[in-house]
Amino acid sequence: MKLVILEPLGVEKEKLLAMAEKAAAGRIEIVSYDTRAEDVPTLIERSRDADAVVLSNLPYPREVIERCPALKLILVAFTGVDHVAMDACRERGVTVCNCAGYSTVAVADLVFGLLIALCRSILPCDRAVREGGTKAGLIGTELEGKKFGIVGAGAIGLRVARIAEAFGCEVVAYSRTQKPETGLRYVGLDELLSGCDVVSLHVPLNDGTRGLIGARELGLMKKTAFLINTARGPVVDSAALAKALSDGVIAGAGIDVFETEPPIPRDHPLFSAPNLVATPHVAFATKEALEKRAVIVFENLAAWLDGAPENVVR
C-alpha cells in the first residue's frame, strides 16, 4: 500500500516523516511532496496509485478521485471538508477522516485579535502614530458589559464563549445542536443578531449555512455591532457586508475567510469598505496548531491501518 502526502503541512519535513513512519509501522509506503499543486492533472499524477492521501485545504475534486482506482482513504489535515468531493468519496467507498479540534485554541485567539483591533481601532491608531497624529477620532470601546453572540456552538464556539465571559460579556448562542450542560443561553438567530454587540460565526459550510448572513440579517444588527467571521467565507454575503459597512448599518467586521482561498483579488468588494480588519485565512495557522493537526493526521492513519478508523466524516 502507498500513502501520499500531497502538500507540506507546516511541520518540518523530517519531523513529519518521522511521525508518519511511526504511525505506519512499516505497513505502508510513504511519499511526500514539498510543493502544493492545485491543478487537476498534477493531483491525478501524484495520487494515481495511492491507497491513502493527506491534504489540508487543497481542493480535491471528483475528477481526481475518479482517476485514482486504488484510493481508499483521504486524511484531511483540516476541520472542514467542503473542499473534498464527498459525494464521489461516498460513491466509491473512500473513507475521509478530518482533524477536528486541532485549531480550537488558535481560531478562538484570532477572534479576539480581530475584535480588539476593531474595538480599539488598532490599525488606524498604528497609522496615526506613524504619521505624527494623535488619538483624535480614535476613542475605542470596551468588551466588558457587551452582549456577545455565538453562531455555532461547537468546540470553537464554546471556547470563544468562555473567553468572552472572561472579558465580562453576556453570552448567548444560536446553534443547530444545543448543549444545555454548557450553561449557554440559546436564542433564535434573529434575536441574537438584533440584540448582540458582537456576532462571531463558527458554523461549517453546507447548504444550510451558505449565505446565512446576508442583507436581511445584517439589517437586524445594531449600528454599533461588530461581525467576526473565522468560519467559512460563503457563510457571509460579502457584497451585502461591504454595503452594510459602507452605509453604517454595522460598525465593523473582522474577516479571516473569503469565497476563495488567498490570494484574494484586490478588487474584492470588502477591501473598499470601511472599518474592516482582514486576515488571509490564518485563524488555524499557529505553530502549535499545525503540529497538533499532524499528530491527529497520523493517529487517524494508524487507526485506519488497524481497521478501526477514527474521526470519520460521513
List per-residue pLDDT tens for the chain, 314 residues long.
999 999 999 999 999 999 999 999 999 999 999 999 999 999 999 999 999 999 999 999 999 999 999 999 999 999 989 999 999 999 999 999 999 999 999 999 999 999 999 999 999 999 999 999 999 999 999 999 999 999 999 999 999 999 999 999 999 999 998 988 889 999 999 999 999 999 999 999 999 999 999 999 999 999 999 999 999 999 999 999 999 999 999 999 999 999 999 999 999 999 999 999 999 999 999 999 999 999 999 999 999 999 999 999 98
Per-residue cell: 66: 475518479
The 10 Å Cβ neighbour count of residue 244 is 23
Are 2-102+287-305 and 104-278 the same fold in CATH? yes
- Between CA 73 and CA 296, with CA 154 as vertex, the angle to 5 degrees is 35
Question: What's the Rg (C-alpha) of the chain?
Answer: 21
Rounded Cα gap, residues 104 and 242, in angstroms? 28
Cis status of the peptide bond prior to 263, with omega within 30 of 0? yes
Per-residue cell: 48: 494515481
pTM for the model: 0.91
Which entry of 165, 170, 191, 261 is annotated as an active-site residue?
A: 261
Which entry of 159, 232, 291, 293 is annotated as an active-site residue?
A: 232
H or E element at residue 2: strand 2-5
Rounded Cα gap, residues 108 and 98, in angstroms? 19
pLDDT at 179: 86
Which entry of 281, 291, 299, 310 is annotated as an active-site residue?
A: 281
170 is catalytic: no
Per-residue cell: 204: 461549517
Alpha-helical (H) ranges within 48-177 are 62-65, 86-92, 104-119, 122-130, 155-166
Rounded Cα gap, residues 218 and 213, in angstroms? 7
Q: List, in sequence order, every residue forming a beta bridge with 47; answer none if it has no partner.
A: none
Domain ranges of the chain: 2-102+287-305, 104-278
232 is catalytic: yes
- What fold does the segment set 104-278 form as a domain? Rossmann fold (3.40.50)
131 is catalytic: no
For the chain, the residue count is 314
CATH number of 2-102+287-305: 3.40.50.720
